[in-house]
Structure 1
């Protein structure tokens, strides 16, 4: 049995970036990571631009200026100003070449023909220079940049319509168990509604991984081998839930061995999620998670998340970990480190009731996991404890 720290290190070390490129429309590239540097095709702004509503001036020593016209955003005409002349101008409008300063409208008096400014201003005051954000030919965004909404807007403002990004992994979710039926069917004696696949699918979608397929297999050895062989050969990441323990009908471990999957670790000293498997076959990474839903989701956030980040060639492999003050009393049972469902709020964290690995009700209320190492047997109110912040 491996420790949590060794298990995390193994997932980090054995994971591999996909390093495959795909082309996306910029507006559909949110959450992707740039595969190569993006160079700006234009200056931004593409002309000297007014930063304020006011008056563009050809500066001279007097405070009075002759008003000769107006320039608003979108205008393409070029007014020529002599010294001591001004034009009314609006935010975003092109600044005439001869203008070398803009006074905001609140500090100007106008009679329609002449204006008087309150005080002298410096050259280029309130003028956005050509290429202030980026110049044509310069790098606009570097390879490895995650495309946020701001990045999408920035690229589109440069006239860029498509980008080369790291391909996201194709992912297969495999659920096992004869007791599992689809929600909506009659719940007969001995059956339970299968929730793990949709739960993990939702977690993946929230992280913007959409190339996901779901496969269900009965507790029959040959069918388990056949299904796993297919998904391993056709996906970058395989996530299996259930069937990885040592019961008479837990066939996943045996099937992975027959398929010559390299076992990187099996069983982690932790609660929940002790029977966790991680392995590889070729470039495909395989996680076999416990069947209990809360254990499966905990393992997803602590381990599978790292693998996904690694595939996307990101530096921030783990979810954020911070220190917070406990507002709860909790006594740990056993000597295994635990991941406890919790609610974090402004530096405080509440450890919730109902920590059983089969229970999702508590997890549904959580936005964090408290990490209680094996050396910590009891958490008191006021204790400083480590908290893993979950994606929202």
Structure 2
């Protein structure tokens, strides 16, 4: 049958009929359709817990964070220098005190005087600017003069950053280290976060051995299991490692059934394409999983399965490591963040000029090309031999998204880029 791409909007069909048609006709769905389907069927868990501040990165805020103070709490110097009156810049200035960070000024700045001041220290009364040390000349131990042509104010004003009771972080924020600094600044030492989704990781394939064994014959080490486990951790989930599952129907059925009982999300790699031993979709149906799609018009990642059973989600990812990493990042990560109530579950796509000419022979699928941003701010594909080439990702920080129907891109053209 000819290659077909399915988008509900293109066919003018309601979303539920579109999903049914994509499954029944085995039509490849677009990446946008796949992501929107995952978003539609991913529901917030609705549970929260409190964790110490330093354990909050990688979690999602369950409540907004409000400041308990004004920031800055006083007018403070933005530079090391001398606090004085701007109208006195033409005068010799007598140093009346030294104000270090953490100390309070004791003098008022009068005509012809100044105070030596450190960055972050409170500005003394009547000073309306701070001149930088490098713009001054020392006359004697008590006297300086301004030798610059002009000066900025160099004062951070009271509450110019945030006022007491202002919201500093919104509910649904995925917590990064910079958010920890913000919470620490407003006195938060315990954080209310969304409960972590439990994500089972199952790996199928008789050719696989665990990483502590030396592969023999046609065997390879299980890289996917460890990759997916750490991806779950990175995006705030609770991983449940189910190990390597034998490539037979009964073992696969038992492993998936067990994972469905214990998890909010089940991920498994391998067994989802059209090979003789790839029976995962059939097993899922036997277990009552409603499959929403099972092929995507994406390279790598065509044999990707997504299904739903009650409030649980199942992702059958391709066995090749680049495919599984990319599809986890695009789909499973999105589901996890939705379950935690994140306000931004999908990463932004940005436009970046490509470093050189790009071409491909076939363009019937959207291509995800491992790439990096070079020193010129251009995106540059890394040396990549295909979806089994996991070593290509050692330098890749982004993926170039090449649309369906595009065979070539010229140097300097803007392309869609998504971080990985």
User: Could you say which TM-score interval applies, normalised by the shorter chain?
Assistant: 0.7 to 0.9
* SS of residue paired to 1:91: coil
8 Å Cα contact 1:73/1:90 also seen in 2 = yes
Q: In structure 2, list runs of 5 or more residues that go unmatched.
A: 1-26
CA distance in 2, matches of 1:364, 1:82: 58
**How far apart are the structure 2 equivalents of 1:99 and 1:381?**
58
Q: Distance in 2 between matches of 1:65 and 1:133?
A: 31
Structure 1 pair 68–173 and aligned structure 2 pair: CA distance change class (3 A): same
Pair 1:54–1:219, CA change in 2 (3 A): closer
**1:322 and 1:388 in contact (8 A); partners too:** yes
Helix, strand or coil for the counterpart of 1:137? coil
| Structure 1 equivalent of residue 318 of structure 2 | 290
Q: Please tell me whether residue 2 in structure 1 is matched to residue 45 in structure 2.
A: no
Q: How many residue pairs end up in the alignment? A: 385
1:256 aligns with 2:301: no
Shift of residue 176 of structure 1? 1.4
Trace 1:201-240 onto structure 2 (pairs within 5 A).
201-205=229-233, 207-209=234-236, 211-216=238-243, 217-240=245-268
TM-score (norm 2): 0.76
Q: Could you say which residue in structure 2 is the equivalent of 1:12?
A: 39
Task: Give CA deviations for 1:320-373 in whole Å, capped at 9, x if unaligned.
Answer: 25364452443128x444444455644354475522x44434455544444444
Name the TM-score, length of structure 1 as normaliser.
0.81
For residue 117 of structure 1, report the CA deviation from its aligned partner.
Answer: 5.4
Cα drift, residue 161 of structure 1: 1.7
CA distances 1:82-128 after superposition (whole Å, capped 9, x unpaired): 74354333222233445555444434655445555569999x94433
CA contact (8 A) 1:71 1:93 kept: yes
Aligned ranges 1:108-257 → 2 under 5 Å? 110-113=139-142, 125-205=153-233, 207-209=234-236, 211-216=238-243, 217-257=245-285
**Unaligned 5+ runs, structure 1:** none
- Looking at structure 1, the residues matched to 58 and 295 of structure 2 have their Cα atoms a distance apart, in angstroms, of 32
Alignment of 1:1-392 (within 5 A): 1-4=27-30, 5-57=32-84, 63=91, 67-76=95-104, 79-81=106-108, 83-84=110-111, 85-97=113-125, 99-105=127-133, 106-107=135-136, 110-113=139-142, 125-205=153-233, 207-209=234-236, 211-216=238-243, 217-312=245-340, 313-315=342-344, 317-318=346-347, 320=349, 322=351, 324-325=353-354, 326-332=356-362, 335-342=364-371, 345=374, 346-350=377-381, 352=383, 354-355=385-386, 357-364=387-394, 366-376=396-406, 378-379=407-408, 382=411, 384=413, 386-391=415-420
1:88, 1:370 → 2: CA distance? Answer: 53
- 1:231 and 1:298, CA in 2 relative to 1: closer, same or farther beyond 3 A? same
- The superposition leaves residues 228-263 of structure 1 with CA deviations (integer Å, 9 ceiling, x where unpaired) of 223223222221111234555434223322321222
